[in-house]
Amino acid sequence: MALAPIELLVIGFPGNQFTGGILPELETLVENGVITVVDALLIIKDTDGTVDYLELDQVDAGEDIAALGRLLTDANGLLSDEDVEEFAAALEPGSSAAALVFEHTWFTPLRNELLDSGGLLLANVRIPGLVVDEVLAAVAELEDE
């Protein structure tokens, strides 16, 4: 059966300061069947610019990283070396990032009904909240003129 929509998030941690603060919410999303983490990497850029990356399920670098790795259902190689290079290029030296690929499992029942009824998902567009805020502010400004 086809997967539900897949999304990629790259979360930066300036100064390599991953505190694990996002873990409780990620755990809740996974436990409640909202998302399934299907791939993940930790990308580290040293102060000299050297880049390294580790699969989270292979990391033995602290309790918080290990807990993040345990959310990973089954690393399937969706993240490529080219992806890592692109994400690392955006990192400041001395920073790290977690790249999380997850399936929107909340969508699975609707996907099944769409397929059973002969429907097709023709588009799946994610619009970042900051972009929506900017558009709404611009619309409000135009309405005030």
Query: SS in 3 state form for 48-70?
Result: CCCEEEEEHHHCCCCHHHHHHHH
User: Could you identify the residue written with the tokens 């909240």?
Assistant: 129
Distance, in Å, from the CA atom of 47 to the CA atom of 30, rounded to the nearest integer, reads 34
**Tokens of residue 128, six digits:** 């970042």
| Largest Cα span, the chain | 57
- Which are the contacts of 85, defined by CB distance < 8 A and separation ≥ 6? 51
Q: How do the residues of the chain divide into helix, strand and coil, expressed in percent and rounded to 5?
A: 40, 25, 35
Task: Return the H-helix or E-strand segment holding 87.
Answer: helix 81-89
Distance, in Å, from the CA atom of 51 to the CA atom of 10, rounded to the nearest integer, reads 15
Residues lower than pLDDT 70 in the chain: 1-2, 19, 56-70, 72-76
The pLDDT of residue 127: 86
**Tokens of residue 58, six digits:** 């292979």
